[in-house]
Amino acid sequence: MLDENREQVLDSDVSSHCEQIHSSAIIYQKTAYQVPITVEPYAILGIQDRFHPESQLVLGTRAFIGSRCTLYGGVVVGDNFDISDQSTVFYDNQFGQACRIGPKAIIKNGCRFGDNVRVNAAVFMENVEVGSNVFIGPGTVFTDDLHPPCPRRKDCVRKTKVGSHVSIGANVTIAPGVTIGDYCQIYAGSVVTSDVASYSVMAGIPAKRIKHFGDLQCKAGFYKKPFDWWE
């Protein structure tokens, strides 16, 4: 039996061409959403984090919530949000417009995202500020503790920041408190241990600047320059 703090949304109650909410999804009372919305099987929306005060989950219009995803209270999401299967977004996260999250991603507390951000599969993030027009490749990890598990890490590690127009390849590791400037590409497998200046292309362990962002070329010739599609 469901307790008084949550409700199971049934197809026969609310589902229509505007609200496609599977009967197995659980939507807690502190959830506000706009139609149209799609919620797939076994998704959980608006559950409260036992470590923080109760707060509302707010979803913009045209949200797509994949199967077995969990979005906690204290999350605010813009329009055209898309989250794939088995991903979790914890308390105190905010997303702009047209953000997409791949499967099995973990977005822990304190993240801020601009517009048109794509977070791919199996990414881990906590206490990260991200600009707009950003791609984060699968398996990327944003670490948040210099000496885990330090009980004072929040007092000594600054927020990690990623600028706008940034592409981060697969399986990149980013050290705590690093700032990545605007117009950067981080090649797959890199370990970023220090700040990255704007207009940098980085690669290696530890990551080093290998070229200027403006020197990147679209070898297929489809675009004058890579990432022109963001302009």
Which of the 8 DSSP states describes residue 11? H
* Domain CATH for 57: 2.160.10
Q: Do 186 and 87 reside in the same domain of the chain?
A: no
Q: Do 222 and 157 reside in the same domain of the chain?
A: yes
The two tokens of residue 180 are: 């990545």
Q: Do 198 and 105 reside in the same domain of the chain?
A: no
Domain end (from 109, 143, 165): 109
Domain end (from 56, 77, 109): 109
Q: What is the pLDDT of residue 156?
A: 86
Domain end (from 109, 142, 169): 109
Q: Give CA–CA dist 214/191, Å, rounded.
A: 22
Q: What is the pLDDT of residue 6?
A: 47
pTM of the model: 0.91
Domain span at residue 182 reads: 129-231
Q: What is the pLDDT of residue 8?
A: 44
- Between strands 26-28 and 6-8, the pairing is antiparallel
Q: Give CA–CA dist 111/167, Å, rounded.
A: 18
Q: Do 72 and 157 reside in the same domain of the chain?
A: no
Q: What is the pLDDT of residue 155?
A: 86
Q: Do 56 and 100 reside in the same domain of the chain?
A: yes
- The set of residues, in sequence order, having a beta carbon less than 8 Å from that of 53 and lying 6+ positions away, is none
CA torsion, ordered 51, 40, 60, 162, to nearest 10 deg: 60
Residue 124 lies in a domain: no
Q: Do 133 and 104 reside in the same domain of the chain?
A: no
Q: Do 5 and 104 reside in the same domain of the chain?
A: yes
Q: Do 5 and 98 reside in the same domain of the chain?
A: yes
Q: Give CA–CA dist 81/78, Å, rounded.
A: 6
Which of the 8 DSSP states describes residue 196? B
pLDDT along the chain (231 residues), means of 10: 43 58 96 95 96 96 98 98 98 98 98 98 98 98 92 88 98 97 98 98 98 95 92 78
Residue 7 lies in a domain: yes
CB 129 within 8 A of CB 110: no
Q: Do 87 and 142 reside in the same domain of the chain?
A: no
Domain count, the chain: 2
CB 166 within 8 A of CB 180: yes
Residue 96 lies in a domain: yes
CA torsion, ordered 186, 94, 26, 139, to nearest 10 deg: 10
